[in-house]
Amino acid sequence: MSALALSVLLSLVSAVAYAGGAIVQERVAASSPGAQYAPLRRPAWWAAVSLNGLGGLLHVVALALGPLSLVQPLGALTIVFALPMAAFFVGRRAGATAWRGALMATVGLAGLLSLVGASDAQSLDTAQRVGAAGVTGGAVVALMIAGRAAHRHPAVRSILLATASGIAFGMSSVFTKTVAVDWSGGVSASDLPSLAVIGVLATAGMVLSQASYRGAGLAAPLATLTVVNPVVAAVVGITMFEETFRYGTTGTALALSCGVVAAGGLIMLTTERIAREGAEAQVRDGNGEQKQGQEQGGSAVAAVPSAATAAVNAAAPAAPLSAKVLVPSPVAPPVPDTAPVEETYDVRTPAGSDDTTLSYGPFYGGPFVPPPMVGRRRVRIRS
């Protein structure tokens, strides 16, 4: 296999590794909403870091074997590989608008990178390195603050954080190129600050890219990161490394056109995500209103009897106490008396006299009443 063919193969594998790392990052962000930047306790996140590291290593080897004009545009295929991989592995399908936006961003970026001409290897002096590091840090912090302010709009917040991540990765590539040029003449202690800047920018780019996937899906943040990273490196190469576009004025016009196409793809991805968020919010609001309406309807139905009772009471004025009608309660039927037949007193009249008047005088101031004679059967005396 020739060096050119191996360079192309490594570039494609690098793009696949970047796409796989982005998919894993997005799934980690979706499954751990509390971890905003770096979920260090998630093994899947470290797998995503490994995939991104592998992609970066393969990209460097491909640049060493093939021309920059071929390797850099192939690196823009990350977003093209990511969408079908996400649909196949995790079941996350992208809509037609997302596909059009991703293809526009990829074509525009590939055209822009293919028009950047190569130049002699150059390095940056100390003042340029300090200025580049300061401007990069200020831009990244400003975008982070703006993303925090736009927390109510996940799509806008994601684009801002992905842009900050792309700037950090792009400037990390610039400092890597500078250190590589310096190492060709021997390693010195003056390269240690540049290595520290590379580590800080690479870490910041990884952390910000992880945060950009939270609540924003895969296509929009990945496309933004994929476009911003090489564009920043190309802008720095043109302004600080004296690189130029090919074909003179025509190449410059074509490069600007490609930049417009890539920006249009990013805008399409962003608006598609915002529209999807709006539709999801409307569905949630509709479900909430329906549930609230059902609750209010149930309370209204429950309040109908009480309202009717209140209306009847209001229509019928209260009657005075004397006008009230007393309804007697039902009287229970009389219980038949099952007591035994009472016997009358058996009074014995004195012999030889028909008069019932007592013949003897009063006893203790009153007439004498003889005691009743009790018969053979028991007699009940009714009081």
Secondary structure (DSSP) of 261-328: HHHHHHHHHHHHHHHHHHHHHHHHHHHHHHHHHHHHHHHHHHHHHHHHHHHHHHHSPPPPSTTPPPPP
| C-beta neighbour count of 58 within 10 angstroms | 21
Contact 112, 258 (CB under 8 A): yes
Compute the Cα dihedral for 151, 93, 40, 226 and give only its sign. Answer: negative
Determine if the pTM surpasses 0.95.
no
Tell me how far apart the alpha carbons of residues 333 and 216 are, in angstroms, rounded to a whole number.
Answer: 84
CA dihedral 231, 232, 238, 243 (to 10 degrees): -60
- Written as six digits, the tokens of 276 are 């999807």
Of 103, 217, 241, which Cα lies nearest the Cα of 162?
217
Contact 230, 91 (CB under 8 A): no
In tens digits, what is the pLDDT along the chain, a chain of 383 residues? 677 788 889 989 998 999 999 999 888 888 876 656 677 778 888 899 999 889 888 888 887 777 666 677 777 788 888 888 888 887 777 778 888 888 888 888 888 888 877 666 667 788 888 898 999 999 999 999 999 898 888 888 889 999 999 999 888 888 887 887 777 666 667 778 888 998 999 899 998 998 888 877 788 888 888 888 888 888 887 787 777 778 888 888 898 898 889 888 888 877 877 777 667 667 766 666 566 656 565 554 444 445 444 444 554 454 444 455 555 555 555 555 555 554 444 445 555 555 554 444 454 555 555 565 555 555 555 55
Of 10, 114, 116, 104, which Cα lies nearest the Cα of 54?
10
